[in-house]
Amino acid sequence: MGKFRFRKRKQKLHVEREIPIRTMIPNLVTFMAAASGITSIRYSCQKQWSLAVIAIIIACVLDGLDGRVARMLRATSKLGAELDSLSDFVSFGVAPAILVYYWVMEVVTPTSAAYPFRGMFWALALFHALCCAFRLARFNIMIEEGPKQPYWKHFFMGLPAPGGAGLVMIPVIWQLHTESDVLQSPWVGGAMLILCGVLMASRFPTVSVKHLRVPAKFMAPALIFVMFVIGMLVSQFWMTLGVMGILYLLSVPVCGVIYLRMRKQYEAKPPVPQPAAVAPNA
């Protein structure tokens, strides 16, 4: 009798767990983002710069969707978070670094003054990708540690990975718009790899659009401006992307000034007195 009960209990433990299909959708979006980043590497090796940039932009869009889809479907998981970090490293760390490297190597010929330093440009590409990996690892740790000071909610700590990918591609985007080889310089590309890598790995505050709010009286002008930007993207795609990248780069020092003011105001406030502990009744 006891042996029969043991077998019955063991059979219950082996009941297969069913997983809803909806929980797989956010991970599929993340896989699509990673696939887009890997495809960008392929186009970079083939020197198809426009397709390489577009593939990274598609990865940015999908990266912004997977988290929202997961929350909407109530399908957030640790597996999804880990997949998202790996996808971001490939799409916004490796793919842009490979793109800029092959883009500058196109003009580094044996007669070029930068030819003896061609190994250094590969080191800078590695530096950018590794800074992205460090930034993503630190971001995951900060999520586990909990919230920071309240003024940090308006900023990212360091340049976010999609932002770093967008900024490092600014010279490539402007070349696609102007069709001029002036910016296709290994020194320009190397400087962008260093700048964006340092900003991603640093603790410098950068703008976070998650907590931006538009006053109700400015809603109509904001919608008109958004429609104007969409029209410009349709008619002047590369120029509009280049302008947006430059404005985003200029926002970095502005965010630094605003952050210092907000921190100074927060630290100047008197500490809130904590209520005295009441002893429990005997």
Is 279 domain-assigned? no
- Closest by CA position to 93, among listed 55, 149, 37: 37
**Residue 278 within a domain:** no
pLDDT at 148: 67
The answer to whether residue 5 is domain-embedded is: no
Best CA proximity match to 163, nearest among 128, 137, 121: 128
Q: Does some domain include residue 4?
A: no
Does 40 map to a domain? Answer: yes
- 277 belongs to a structural domain: no
Mean residue pLDDT of the chain comes to 84
Task: Annotate 81-99 with b (16+ C-beta within 10 A) or e (fewer).
Answer: eebbbebbbbbbbbbbbbb
Would residue 14 count as lying in a domain? Answer: no
Partners of residue 207 on adjacent β-strands: 155
Contact 200, 97 (CB under 8 A): no
Show the domain range for 170.
Answer: 22-264
Does the structure show a pLDDT above 50 at 211? yes
Task: Assign residue 130 the CATH number of its domain.
Answer: 1.20.120.1760
Instruction: Note the residue count of the chain.
Output: 282
pLDDT at 275 over 70: no
**How much is the pLDDT for 16?**
57
> Each residue of 145-177: pLDDT tens digit?
555 677 677 788 889 999 999 999 999 999 999
Mean pLDDT of 69-95: 86
- Asked if residue 67 is part of any domain, the answer here is yes
CB 34 within 8 A of CB 90: yes
Q: How many domains does the chain have?
A: 1
Instruction: For 104-121, write each residue's pLDDT tens digit.
Output: 999 888 888 888 888 899
Question: Considering only CA atoms, which of 55, 193, 188 is closest in space to residue 130?
Answer: 193
Q: Is the CB of residue 130 less than 8 Å from the CB of residue 170?
A: no
Q: Which residue type sits at 175?
A: Q
